[in-house]
C-alpha cells in the first residue's frame, strides 16, 4: 500500500463562543479561547491520498493537481480569514481543530482524479492536531 | 472517524543496565546507554484519543481535561526525574522508549471522560520513537 | 561574553488596516492582511540577556525569574488576544512583527534583576521574524 | 501493540524525465523536476517495526542492529548519490518519493532478526512524503 | 535597532570536484561530495534587512517587495537547478554553502528600496549553514 | 565576512545541587533541577567559525576536520554522560547551559587549523539556549 502526504499552510483567526450560553459558561468551557476579540493560529494541513503508483510517472497523483485542489478548495478560503465569520459552511459550529479537520475532509473528498483521500490532519500548533480518517 | 492528539514534554534521566548480567554483556547489548552514571533526554509525548465530536463544543474532549490528566498522571511523575529510580511501577524494567510508551498507555487508559485512548507515542529524540496502540 | 535565550509562545489575532487610507490603498499595501475580519498566528518570542554568570549558581539569571517576567509582562497580555484591540500601548500602530518586537523589548527592558536585555526576536511564522536589538 | 520508529537521513540528486516522451510532455507532466541538469533533496527516512518487547532488554529490536541494516542497505547506497544513475534496481523508473518508499521497503523487508517491518516513510521535504505500508 | 528576516526555500543539485586535481585528491578533500553523478539538498535561505520602521505601515520593508526580489534574483535561478551547471556567475567555484552565501549576498545587495541588507544565511541542512555579513 | 556553523548533538544527565547549601535553599534556587536522582536532556551544539574562504575548495574549513575536532573534544566526552560526575574540568560547577557553553568554547578554542572560533551555542531544549561569544 502506497500513500502520499502533502503539507500546506494557512493562518486564520477564530473565537470559541456560543450565543446560547452565558458568558460564565463560555468562559468555563472555552477558557481563553472565549476572549472577546478572538485570536488566531498558523495552521498546518496534511492531506493523505492512498492508491496505485502510475508506472509511467512514478506518481500516485501529480502534485500540481494535488496542490491546485488544496489551494482552491482550502487555502484560498481559509488563509488570512476569520473562521467564525468567513466560512459559511461552518455555520454556528465552534471552529475547533476537530471541526476544521472534518470540514476540510469533506471539501476535499472526491476532488482528486487519482488516489483516494484517506486522511486529513490539521495542526493548530505544534502541540495540538486533529485528524479525520475514512473509517 | 475523528482523532485528536496532544503533545506534551518532559525531560528525564535513565540508564540501561541489568544487575544479573556482567558488565561486558551490559556493554555489548546496551552500548553507551550502560555508562555508569546515566544520561538523559528531552522526551515528547503524543496522546491520541478517538471518538465523537460534541456538537455543542466542537470538541472530542475538552483540552483542559486532557491536559490535566496528562499532567497529573505522567508529567508530574516523569519530568525532571530518573526513570530507573523514581518510577516504582517500572520495577527492574529497562526504561527504553518502548517500555515507556506501554507504561504511559497503561497510566492513561480509562482516565478520560470522553473519547477513547488509541495511541501513545513517546519520542526519545527526533530520531527515535515508540508507540503503543490498542490492537 | 555569555548570553542566554529563552523562548516563549503566544497566539494572537491581528489585522493590518489604516482608517485614514482608502480600502484600495489598504489592500494594495497590506494585501490579505487587510481582510475585513482579521486572522492570526502562533508567535514565538526569543528573549536574550547578556551578562555575568554567577559562580554559585552557574546562571546568568534564574530562569524562574525570567519566565515569570515574560509571563506577566508579555504572555498574559498578548496570548489569546487581538493585537489591534487588546493592547492599548500599540494605539493605532499596525501590529506588524517589527512593531511587536519593539513593543516587547520596551516592556521587558529594565525588568530583570540580573543580566542585560540585548535582543528580542518575534517570529510570526517559521518564515518571518523581526528582532529589536540594543544598538 | 508496540511499534518503534527510527529516523535516518540521506541527501541525493534526481531528475524526472522519460526518454520515450517529448521534451514538451516531460515539462508538462514533471514541471521543474524535468530541468536538464537535475536537482536534489535532503531526504528523511522513517523505518517502523512492530512486534514484541523483549522482557530482558525492554527492546523490540536492538537499535544497533536496526541502524546497521538501514545504513548498509539504504544509506550507503543512496546518500550523496544520484537516484537516476546510481541505483540500478530503479531501472528507468522515475525516482519519485512514492517509488523510493516502495524501493526502500523492499530492500529492508526481511532484513531484521526481530520485529516486523510495517511501514517506511520517505520525506523529500518537510511538505511532501510517501509511505509504503504492508497491507 | 530593528531587523527583519525572511526565510525562503530552494532545492538544488551540486558536486564538489576540481578538474585540475586528481580523482584521489578530489576524494581526499571533498569526500562523498565528489561522487561522480552529484547529489543535492533542500536549502533554506534567511535574508536579513535592518533599518527604520515606517510609522504608517509598521514595516521596515513591504514583504511583497522583499519576496519578489528574493524570488526573482535567487529562487527562480537556483530552485530545481544544478549549482555547478546552471549558475554561470559561480564559474568554476565549488558550490559550497559558504560560496552560495556570498553569491546570494552579492545578488541581493542594493536590490531593496528600504532597509539595508546586513546578513544572508544559507542552510544546506539542519546541521550546516553559512552566513555572509556586512563587516 | 563569512561564517560557517556546524550543529552537533549529545544527550547527557545532570543535577543542580550545592553541597554547601541546605536542601531548602537548593530547592528554592534550583527547583525541580535539584531532584535527588537527576534528569537529562538532548543537547544541540552549534559551533561557529569565521574567516576566509579558500578559493580552491570554497571552504572556510574542511567539514571533516571540524566534525572530527567536535567529536573528539566534545561529543565523546559529553554524550551519554553525566555532566556532574563525568567531566572533571567542571569541578563543582553547576552544569547549567551557560556553564556548558563556556566550557565547550574553551575546549574548542585554538583547535582548528583554519577559521576562528567566534561563537558556541548550546541548546538544552528548544526553549532554552546559551551562547559564549568572543568579545
Q: What is the pLDDT of residues D36-94, one digit of tens each?
A: 999 999 999 999 999 999 999 999 999 999 999 999 999 999 999 999 999 999 999 99
| Chains B and F are in contact, defined as 3 or more C-beta pairs closer than 8 angstroms | yes
What phi and psi, each to the nearest 5 degrees, are found at residue C112?
Answer: -110, 145
Q: For chain A, which residues score pLDDT lower than 50?
A: none
**Bridge partners, F13 (sequence order):** F40, F82
| Residues 6-65, chain C, touching A (beta carbon < 8 A) | 9, 11-14, 32-33, 35, 37-42
Which pLDDT does position C135 carry in this prediction? 74
Whole-number percent of chain E with pLDDT over 70: 100
Rounded (5°) CA angle D102-D105-D106: 90
Q: Which residue has the cell 489604516?
A: C18
Question: Are B1 and A133 within 8 A, CB to CB?
Answer: yes
Mean pLDDT for the stretch of residues C109-126: 98
Q: Identify the closest residue of chain E to D12 by CA–CA distance.
A: E39
Structure letter (DSSP) for residue A114: S
Rounded distance, CA E10 to CA E1, Å?
30
Whole-number percent of chain E with pLDDT over 90: 98
- Known catalytic residue at A33: yes
Rounded distance, CA E16 to CA E13, Å?
11
Question: Are A2 and D134 within 8 A, CB to CB?
Answer: no
Question: E interface mutation test: which of F8, F43, F59 has the most E CBs within 10 A?
Answer: F59
Which pLDDT does position D89 carry in this prediction? 95
Q: In angstroms, what separates the C-alpha of F85 from chain B's closest C-alpha?
A: 7
Three cell numbers written together for F57:
575548495
Whole-number percent of chain F with pLDDT over 70: 100
pLDDT digits (tens, 9 = 90+) for C8-61: 999 999 999 999 999 999 999 999 999 999 999 999 999 999 999 999 999 999
Which candidate from C3, C4, C57 shows the least CB-CB separation from F29? C57
Rounded (5°) CA angle E39-E41-E45: 150
Where are the extended beta strands (E) located within C30-105?
39-51, 81-82
Question: F interface mutation test: which of B8, B9, B10, B13 has the most F CBs within 10 A?
Answer: B13
Which pLDDT does position E7 carry in this prediction? 98
Mean pLDDT for the stretch of residues D11-28: 98
| Chains D and A are in contact, defined as 3 or more C-beta pairs closer than 8 angstroms | yes
Pick the catalytic residue from B33, B50, B65, B98: B33
Question: Are C131 and E62 within 8 A, CB to CB?
Answer: no
Q: Which domains does chain C carry?
A: 2-133 (3.30.479.10)
Confidence of residue E135 (pLDDT cuts 50, 70, 90): confident
For F26-39, the DSSP string reads: HHHHHGGGG-TT-E
pLDDT digits (tens, 9 = 90+) for B84-112: 999 999 999 999 999 999 999 999 999 99
Mean pLDDT for the stretch of residues E74-103: 97
| H or E element at residue F59 | none
Mean pLDDT for the stretch of residues C109-130: 98
Question: A interface mutation test: which of C80, C85, C124 has the most A CBs within 10 A?
Answer: C80
Q: How many CA atoms lie within 13 Å of C81's alpha carbon, on the beta-carbon side?
A: 15
Which pLDDT does position B131 carry in this prediction? 98
Nearest to F121 by CA among F2, F3, F6, F1: F6
Question: Are F130 and C5 within 8 A, CB to CB?
Answer: yes
Nearest to D4 by CA among D72, D58, D56: D58
Give the rounded distance of the alpha carbon of D17 from its chain centre: 20
Whole-number percent of chain D with pLDDT over 90: 98
Question: Are D129 and A2 within 8 A, CB to CB?
Answer: no
pTM greater than 0.90: yes
Mean pLDDT for the stretch of residues F35-56: 98
Check whether B73 has a pLDDT greater than 80.
yes
Q: What is the mean pLDDT of chain E?
A: 97
Mean pLDDT for the stretch of residues F81-87: 98
Question: Are A40 and C80 within 8 A, CB to CB?
Answer: no
Rounded distance, CA F33 to CA F43, Å?
16
Please check whether residue B5 is in contact with residue A129, taking contact to mean a CB–CB distance below 8 angstroms: yes
Which pLDDT does position C11 carry in this prediction? 98
Give the rounded distance of the alpha carbon of D5 from its chain centre: 14
Q: Identify the closest residue of chain E to D86 by CA–CA distance.
A: E37
Check whether C134 has a pLDDT greater than 80.
yes
Check whether D102 has a pLDDT greater than 80.
yes
Question: Are E63 and C130 within 8 A, CB to CB?
Answer: no
Residues contacting F39, CB < 8 A, separation 6+? B11, B12, B13, B40, B79, B80, B81, B82, F13, F14, F15, F32, F33
pLDDT digits (tens, 9 = 90+) for A36-63: 999 999 999 999 999 999 999 999 999 9
**Which chain E residues touch C126 with a CB distance below 8 Å?**
7
Active site members of E: 33, 80, 124
Q: Which chains touch D (3 or more CB pairs under 8 A)?
A: A, B, E
Three cell numbers written together for C119:
535582543
**Bridge partners, E133 (sequence order):** E119
Nearest to D74 by CA among D10, D6, D28, D5: D10
Which pLDDT does position D126 carry in this prediction? 97
Q: In angstroms, what separates the C-alpha of E37 from chain C's closest C-alpha?
A: 32
Which pLDDT does position A79 carry in this prediction? 98
Whole-number percent of chain C with pLDDT over 70: 100
Active site members of F: 33, 80, 124
Which pLDDT does position C84 carry in this prediction? 98
Structure letter (DSSP) for residue E131: E
Q: Is D73 on the interface with B (CB under 8 A)?
A: no
**Bridge partners, C131 (sequence order):** C121, E3
| Residues 84-113, chain E, touching F (beta carbon < 8 A) | 93-99, 101-102
Check whether B135 has a pLDDT greater than 90.
no
Question: Are F96 and C2 within 8 A, CB to CB?
Answer: no
Which candidate from E3, E7, E57 shows the least CB-CB separation from C130? E3
Judged by DSSP in three states, F81 sits in strand
Three cell numbers written together for D34:
524535468
Q: What is the mean pLDDT of chain F?
A: 97
Amino acid at each position: 500500500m502506497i500513500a502520499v502526504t502533502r503539507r500546506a499552510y494557512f493562518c486564520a483567526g477564530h473565537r470559541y463562543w456560543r450565543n446560547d450560553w452565558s458568558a460564565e459558561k463560555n468562559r468555563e468551557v472555552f477558557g481563553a479561547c472565549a476572549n472577546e476579540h478572538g485570536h488566531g493560529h498558523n495552521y498546518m494541513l496534511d492531506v493523505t491520498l492512498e492508491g496505485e503508483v502510475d508506472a509511467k510517472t512514478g506518481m500516485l497523483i501529480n502534485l500540481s493537481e494535488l496542490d491546485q485542489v488544496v489551494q482552491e478548495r482550502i487555502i484560498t478560503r481559509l488563509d488570512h480569514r476569520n473562521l467564525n465569520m468567513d466560512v459559511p459552511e461552518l455555520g454556528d459550529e465552534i471552529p475547533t481543530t476537530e471541526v476544521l479537520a472534518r470540514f476540510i475532509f469533506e471539501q476535499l473528498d472526491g476532488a482528486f482524479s487519482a488516489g483516494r483521500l484517506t486522511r486529513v490532519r490539521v495542526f493548530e500548533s505544534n502541540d495540538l492536531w486533529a485528524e479525520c480518517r475514512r473509517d
